Structures are given as structure tokens and as C-alpha cells.
Amino acid sequence: MLMGGNKMKEYLEIANQPLMWLMVAPAIFIVLLQAFLISKKAVKNADLVGLTKEEVKSAFKIGFVSGIGPALAVFVVMLAMTAVLGGPITWLRTVIIGAASTELAAATIGAEAMGVEFGGADYGITEYANSVLTMVLNGSGWLILCALFTDKLDVLSHKISGGDVKVMGIIGGAAMAASFSYLVSGHLIAGGARLLTAVVSGVAMIALIYIVKKFPKLEEHSLGIAMIIGMACGAAYVL
């Protein structure tokens, strides 16, 4: 108890140790390796479905570029996570499936199961180890289920659509609209600056869809532009 302050410092020192970076590196490497191997298969089969070399390149590039805006979200939450979990584990948990809220909930439960407060005075290296294990065990749920059942979902979806491209398109389009409805709904319900940001971004996107017809080069940046306009309004509203 008396050593509380030191104990806490001790766990973060270990958590930020150079070797810890090395220990999380293999999992992060797998993320990149998987994306590389699957892309290779996509490239190999491009001819078969009438996808040109140019289109292959631009599909990848569009993914890379339009991911930049959304990826900014990670900057803010990572700082908060790094302060309590250390750099390496934060890196691991944000690159692999983790959403910050999920990971912090797991880390908290891991600490509570040891009878201490997460990040509190009694939170030492063993408690930290339990937080890490809880995050990893939780994440394994998605990984293992997807490893086992993704191919079954494919069989199921072919059965439902009968392999008909039109029907697959209808299903995919409706699912995409519904996914974004769900994702945006929380921000609309929250009201205030979040509501404002969502609405302004949406209006900007609709305007851009018409504008890019005249300036096709802009099209792959429309998500970024719409986001920035909305985010600026949100920030102006609170400041």
C-alpha cells in the first residue's frame, strides 16, 4: 500500500520497455501480411473479372487515401490509452480489432477482477498482466469465430441470393445503408456538436456528389472534404 506510487511507475516502465515492442510486433506483422497475401490473390484474379491494371492500382490507392481522414480518430484515443497501458500494448490493441472503448473496458475489468482500480495506486505488474489478458481473450472471440465461420457465411449468402449478382447488389446496398444508419444514429441522438457535425458532413457530401460530376478528380477525396467541413463546424460550435 505504501509503495503504491512506486508500484504504478514500475508497471508502466515494464509496459514501455523496448522488448515489449518486439513482443507485439509479430501480431502487427500478421495484419500487414494478410492484407498483402489477399491483395495478391485479388490482383491475380483481376483479369478474370475484367478489372484493369489501372483499376487495381486505383482501388488500392483509394482505400489508402480515403482511409486517412477516418484514421485520424485513432490519434486522440491512443494518447489516452498510452498513458495507462503503455505504448506497445496500445499499438497492438489499436492495430488488431480493438476499438479504444472496448479495450479500456476490458482493461478495467481485468483490474477489477484482481480487486484493484485500473491505473490506481495498487495497480502493479500482475494486475496489468491481467488487464492485457482480458483484452486479448476478448479480442480472440472475434478472431476465432471469424476464422471458423467466415466461409460458412459465404455459403449461406450464396444460398440466399442464389448467386444472382442483382440480388447480391441489392442485399449489399441495403446492408451498407443500414450499417451507416446505425453508425450515424448515435451521433444524431447525442445532439449538440456531434449532431451538427453529422448533418453538415452529410449535406456537404450530397453537394460534393453533384460537384464531382464536373470535377471527377475530386471524387476520391469527397469523403475527406465532407468530413473536414462537418468537423470544422462541430469544433466551431463547441469552441
Interactions with another protein, residue window 60-89 (CB under 8 A): 60-76, 78-79, 82, 87-89
Task: Say how many Å lie between the first and final Cα of the chain, rounded.
Answer: 42
Interactions with another protein, residue window 2-21 (CB under 8 A): 14, 19-20
Distances (CA, A) of 207 to 64, 203, 222, 233: 24, 6, 10, 16
> Any contact of residue 41 with another protein (CB under 8 A)?
yes
Cβ(10)–Cβ(125) below 8 Å: yes
Q: C-beta of 190: minimal distance to another protein in Å?
A: 8
Question: Binder to another protein among 49, 159, 162, 214 (CB under 8 A)?
Answer: 49
Q: C-beta of 115: minimal distance to another protein in Å?
A: 8
Cβ(106)–Cβ(131) below 8 Å: yes
> Any contact of residue 105 with another protein (CB under 8 A)?
yes
> Any contact of residue 122 with another protein (CB under 8 A)?
no
Interactions with another protein, residue window 152-181 (CB under 8 A): 153-154, 157, 161, 163, 165-181
Cβ(195)–Cβ(234) below 8 Å: no
Question: Whose CA is closest to 199, among 223, 221, 230, 224?
Answer: 230
What is the dihedral sign for C-alpha 76, 82, 84, 89? positive
Q: C-beta of 178: minimal distance to another protein in Å?
A: 4
Question: Binder to another protein among 7, 94, 118, 123 (CB under 8 A)?
Answer: 94
> Any contact of residue 51 with another protein (CB under 8 A)?
yes
| CB nearer another protein, residue 4 or residue 185 | 185
Helix, strand, coil distribution of the chain in percent, nearest 5: 85, 0, 15
Q: Which residues contact 155 (CB under 8 A, 6 or more apart)?
A: none
> Any contact of residue 91 with another protein (CB under 8 A)?
yes
Question: Binder to another protein among 8, 12, 104, 198 (CB under 8 A)?
Answer: 198
Question: Binder to another protein among 7, 8, 90, 119 (CB under 8 A)?
Answer: 90
